[in-house]
Amino acid sequence: MQKTKRLSRRITLTFLLFGAALTLMFGFGLVIALKSIEINMLDDILYAELREFQLQTESAQIPGFSHQRTTIIIYVTSRDETTKIPEHIRSLPQGIHDVTHDNQDYRVLVEHIGDTRYTVQFDDTSIHNRERDFIRLVWLCSIAALMLAFVIGWGLANYVISPIRRLAHQIKTFKNQPGESLDLSEFGDDEIGVLARQLQHYHEQLQHLLIREKEFASNVSHELRTPITNISLAAEVLATRADLSALEYARIQRIQRAVGEMSELIETFLILAQINNESVKYNDACEIGPVIRKVIEQQRVWLGNKPVEVVVEEKEPLKVSAPPGILSVLVANLIRNAFRYTEQGTITVSLESNQLTVRDTGRGIDMPTSDRIFKNDTKINSGDTNRVGLGLKIVQRICERYGWTASFESTKGQGSRFTVLFTS
């Protein structure tokens, strides 16, 4: 499994984000509620102190009088004369205000009753300090809750993902091993168990299909070898006749080339039908240059009398660890398509240290066909009804089997470029 896309991490992250959102909402709610209650209580205290002062104090109407308690000071002045009020609250309009002066916090009520101005100042510095302490406590509790959510989420994710991880490990273990099967005893009757049983059933069906494919390919190959051998021997006998004309001899040679191609194609299909990938490993390096020259001569019949020049550019020697028959079929399909669909110009086959390129100046491939070029039902949209997709599908399957990469570029009416990168 890729470390950057592990399901357990996504579950943990989701749980953590949910916990963070819930904790932050709860924390902000507490802070907002505390602030609202605090403001309402302070405002009630200010109004209550002013009413009590007016009812109980005979000097409440005397301008210039001030009444001071532990945290509250009440200033009584005329509305036009405020010089006896401290400067930091002197110019405040009617209403309730928050004022900070000399590192002290005040809640101030300014009320005009008749011609008298009442200014009630409440020192709420200690309340604000406790409020900040409460906010810090909320943050600490939020962090602790997030850490707890992370631990719970991680443990829960590992618990939930554990059977999936075991299933993935088993599937990875028996990959490319037809005789292996899942140990279904590790899974219960939940959704993971159902998935494991369905995967086992699918695996068994797939193995039966692959075995039948292998048997079919082997049987067909065995049945075809005899008539092909007979055709080859008959062509060799005919080629030894002294009274053959040049045209007849050329036709016999064409039959011999076709027989050779069919033999190589049968061997290729046998290799592609193998179930175990280990069986297709080939340790000897085969040089592609001679294979290309041989294939060009075999496929030149597709050029006929067309004014097409074939150029082989062997920039660097290219050796690939694969059977010569496989390489011959791979190259033949690419070159045959170039020969068939190039009416004039140049066909260039280039060899580099790790890639083979076939370029042509043919009719090209349009965009809709390009999207399906390696599918077995692809046709060239040029009015020609001959199918070319099967050959390219064989190229693609050979590349997939050996870990190579096939790609192409094409412009309608200007030509195509097919490239095989031998990456392993």
Which domain CATH number covers 337? Answer: 3.30.565.10
Residue where a domain stops, chosen among 146, 176, 201: 146
Residue after which a domain boundary falls, among 114, 146, 178: 146
- The total number of structural domains in the chain stands at 3
Distance CA 320, CA 330 (A): 12
Q: 246 and 337: one domain?
A: no
Same domain? For 394 and 328 the reply is yes
Pair 111, 50: CB distance under 8 Å: yes
Q: What is the pLDDT of residue 385?
A: 37
236 and 362 inside one domain: no
Largest CA distance in the chain: 150
CA distance 281 to 374: 24
Do 63 and 118 form a contact (C-beta atoms < 8 A)?
A: no
308-314 vs 345-351, strand pairing mode: parallel
Both 9 and 136 in one domain: the answer is: yes
Looking at the fold, whether 385 and 365 belong to one and the same domain comes out as yes
How confident is the model at residue 356, as a pLDDT? 92
**Is 124 inside any structural domain?**
yes
104 and 21 part of one domain: yes
Which stretches does DSSP call E strand in 336-423? 345-351, 355-360, 405-411, 415-421
Neighbours of 349 (CB within 10 A): 24
Same domain, 376 and 402: yes
Contacts of residues 125-134 at CB distance under 8 Å and 24 or more positions apart, as own/partner, are: 127/38, 127/42, 131/34, 131/35, 131/38, 134/31, 134/34
45 within domain boundaries: yes
Q: Does residue 178 form part of some domain? A: no
Tell me: do 208 and 227 sit in the same domain. Answer: yes
**Angstrom distance (rounded) from CA 302 to CA 312:** 17
Cβ neighbors of 42 (< 8 A, separation 6 or more) are 107, 122, 124, 127
User: Does residue 327 contact residue 368 with C-beta atoms inside 8 Å?
Assistant: no
pLDDT in 10s for each residue of the chain, 424 residues: 444 357 777 777 887 888 788 888 888 888 888 888 888 988 888 888 888 887 776 655 566 666 677 788 888 888 877 777 888 888 888 999 999 888 888 999 999 888 888 889 988 888 888 888 888 888 888 888 888 888 887 887 778 778 777 777 777 776 655 566 777 777 777 777 888 888 778 777 877 877 777 777 777 777 777 888 888 888 888 888 888 888 888 888 888 878 877 877 777 777 666 644 444 556 678 888 899 998 898 888 788 888 999 999 988 888 888 888 888 888 988 998 888 889 999 999 999 888 899 999 988 876 666 556 655 444 444 444 343 456 777 888 888 888 898 888 888 888 889 999 987 6
CA atoms within 13 A on the CB side of 139: 6
Let me know if residue 182 belongs to a domain. no
User: By residue range, what is the domain housing residue 54?
Assistant: 3-146
- Same domain flag for 31 and 122: yes
Are 268 and 345 members of one domain? no
- The owner of tokens 């010089």 is 83
Residues 292 and 374 in one domain: yes
Quote the CA–CA distance of 93 and 108 in Å, as a whole number.
10
pLDDT digits (tens, 9 = 90+) for 362-396: 888 766 665 566 554 444 444 443 434 567 778 88
Q: What is the pLDDT of residues 196-210, one digit of tens each?
A: 888 778 777 877 877
Q: Got the DSSP string for 22-34?
A: HHHHHHHHHHHHH
Q: What is the pTM of this model?
A: 0.49
Reported residue count of the chain is 424
Q: Which helix (H) or strand (E) holds 113?
A: strand 104-113
Q: What is the DSSP letter of 387?
A: B
Same domain, yes or no: 285 and 267 = no
